[in-house]
Amino acid sequence: MQASLPVSSLLRKAQRHVKAEEFAQATILYREALFRFPKNKKAIQEYHNLKNLIASQNALNSEVSQEQVQELIGLYEQGKFKEVLSKSKSLIHLFPKAVILYNLKGASSAALKKYDEAIETYKQVLKIQPEYADAYNNMANALQQKGDLDEAIETYKQVLIIQPEYAQAYTNMANALQQKGALDEAIETCKRVLKIKPDFAEAFKLLGDFLKRKNNLSEAIASYKMAIKIKPDYFEAHNNMGLVLQEQNELDAAIDSYKMAIKIKPSYLKAQDNLTILLTEHTPIIPTSNPTIVTHQGLRKIPLSHNVCEVITERHIMNIVDRVQKLLKDETINTETNLSQIYRRNSQDLNCERHMAVFNQHSIIPEFCFGCYKVQVEARSIRELLSVFLIFDQLELENNNTRKCMIEFRPKIPGFYKGYVYCRGIDEASAVSKYLNRILQKRIRPSMFSEIKRGCSEYPHTFPAYKEINISGPQLMNYNPKWKRIEIEHDEKFPIKPKNNIKPTLRGLSLLDCKILQNWFSYAKGIGDQSLDLKDENINFRSQFYEIGQDRLRRNQKQIQPQAVYGASGHGV
């Protein structure tokens, strides 16, 4: 703001920019003049003349044909963003004032994560139409996606100066504020837009999300209900309300919310995952014909138990696999998930999401993680991984420690197949490891053993001393007390509290387990693992995980041959 300049000086300066065809700069000066002197007739008239001039100039050289525009829109809707970029750039040379071409170019750049290019494109739009609110909003979205939250928020504010009732800009800004850690401001922004547009379902849903983060669960439910009342087919609101109901221990009501979200949009994986995760810990009270629940209940009847003194054979594993695949042939069941880890949880929330957020944002290891140890099992093949999974399902531990089996695809972490048992303290980890070794060597192969690791595998890349473990005595690396203040400030901005009312995982197969197994099988094929006779027609092939496996094999220095390794040291059929 040039507060020291009188209105006459502002207008003269604006006119110089008009003569130089610098319309964006002239627009800013006229807006400033009218903000300070809203009744100045000369400022009103000259600003009106400028807008007419811009409109007339834009009419020249902006006559791109409707057919050309529709072709680009069609390509964009098909996700062919590179083609849209190429064609829009060529057309812009012919029609340099055609705003629609810039919009498509900017949107395609953002979709390809070329955020700087998208931002520059929207700046070009604003040179043509300085008061184009959509361009400011789109530019703010690109800034937000790029991670420039402060600049994004200021740009959303510019949208609202031009168009005070631009509801979407409010919710976009609220999201950016929440990402920045300004949760209270985000909540107030949602409430502000709802005064302008009381029937804005998206704002109610977003308000519910933010209230859930604040642990105001009853208020969150009320917001989701308002969103659904306005927009009954709002599947995201149904899903998110299910999450809150689950935290309130209203598990059957949560199931109903997830079922409604899936009914509205059967391909909605988040709701599918949330429902199947809940079914791993809760059996619905009321009988149902819902195909997801019916299939889950059928899978639970497949026995996993095996004589604890006997080797887990390929025949036993393939019998389970064949029965699972037969049940999953029901075409009404969505067998897709992007999850890749099978858990057996106890009732304690380790709150790993929070701890990784602290590490990623501040490059410090949270205090909690200095007492966290894990017993790691490295499986050589998909056959061994399934054997570990069967053992983990039936494993009897004093504290029913949380455990998981997984396929490995983190870039800096070696290996292909892992099993982990989480422990509090080195003494518990040592006891669990010794107990588990006896089972692994008896039931999988004599040379198999577990190792004790500390916390998350990502930490030692930044703090190498963290991975050094002293079984008896002080550890080489301990928590830095100076980090405590950083953790407190982080939690104030990004409150992620441990969940209450967590129920232990039910023993036995679940639909979620079986969905994840499909991803494991596809990954195994990708790395060339032939330790099980997995015929393509018998598994629900997931190309995404097959490609992850292929990429993993290429990146790994040791090219494994799982079947050969297994046959050399494993037990027979």
Amino acid sitting at position 28: I
Q: Which of 59, 83, 101 delimits the end of a domain?
A: 59
User: Sorting pLDDT into bands at 50, 70 and 90, what band is 201?
Assistant: very high
Q: Domain for residue 138, yes or no?
A: no
Answer yes or no: are the C-beta atoms of 462 and 363 closer than 8 Å: yes
Give the residue-averaged pLDDT of 470-489. 90
Q: What is the pLDDT of residues 106-160, one digit of tens each?
A: 999 999 999 999 999 999 999 888 888 999 999 999 999 999 999 999 999 999 9
* Coil vs helix vs strand at 422: strand
Rounded Cα distance between 267 and 262, Å, is 7
Q: Domain for residue 496, yes or no?
A: yes
Per-residue pLDDT for 6 more than 50?
yes
Per-residue pLDDT for 558 more than 70?
no
Rounded Cα distance between 523 and 527, Å, is 6
Q: Domain for residue 93, yes or no?
A: no
Specify the pLDDT at position 572. 36
Answer yes or no: are the C-beta atoms of 252 and 285 closer than 8 Å: yes
Give the residue-averaged pLDDT of 11-17. 83
Residues 6 or more apart whose Cβ sits within 8 Å of residue 543: 522
Q: Domain for residue 139, yes or no?
A: no
Residues 6 or more apart whose Cβ sits within 8 Å of residue 451: 375, 376, 378, 433
Burial group, residue 446, by CB count within 10 angstroms (0-12, 13-18, 19+)? exposed
For the chain, the average pLDDT equals 88
Query: Which DSSP string corresponds to 358-381?
Result: HHHHHS---GGGGGEEEEEEEESS
Q: Domain for residue 168, yes or no?
A: no
Specify the pLDDT at position 538. 66
Query: Which DSSP string corresponds to 137-153?
Result: HHHHHHHHHHT-HHHHH
Q: Which of 197, 140, 200 is nearest to 172 (CA)?
A: 140
Rounded Cα distance between 336 and 347, Å, is 27
Q: What is the pLDDT of residues 361-374, one digit of tens each?
A: 999 999 999 999 99
Rounded Cα distance between 207 and 197, Å, is 14
Q: Which residue has the higher pLDDT, 542 or 472?
A: 542
Q: What is the pLDDT of residues 80-111, one digit of tens each?
A: 999 999 988 888 888 888 888 999 999 999 99
Q: What is the pLDDT of residues 384-405, one digit of tens each?
A: 999 999 999 999 999 999 999 9
Rounded Cα distance between 125 and 127, Å, is 5
Per-residue pLDDT for 567 more than 60?
no
% residues pLDDT > 70 (the chain): 92
Specify the pLDDT at position 406. 97
Give the residue-averaged pLDDT of 322-339. 84
Residue 46: give the domain boundaries.
7-59
Specify the pLDDT at position 25. 74
Q: Which of 40, 59, 78 delimits the end of a domain?
A: 59
HSE, side-chain direction, 13 A CA sphere, residue 278: 29
Return phi, psi of residue 263, to 5°: -60, -40
Q: Domain for residue 409, yes or no?
A: yes
| Beta strands in 42-99, from DSSP E residues, in sequence order | none
Beta bridge partners of 450: 377
Query: Which DSSP string corresponds to 230-273?
Result: H-TT-HHHHHHHHHHHHHTT-HHHHHHHHHHHHHH-TT-HHHHH
Specify the pLDDT at position 565. 38
Specify the pLDDT at position 56. 57
Rounded Cα distance between 476 and 457, Å, is 17
Query: Which DSSP string corresponds to 506-523?
Result: PSS--HHHHHHHHHHHHH
Q: What is the pLDDT of residues 417-434, one digit of tens each?
A: 999 999 999 999 999 999
Q: Domain for residue 375, yes or no?
A: yes
The number of folded domains in the chain is 2
Burial group, residue 295, by CB count within 10 angstroms (0-12, 13-18, 19+)? buried
Q: Domain for residue 551, yes or no?
A: yes
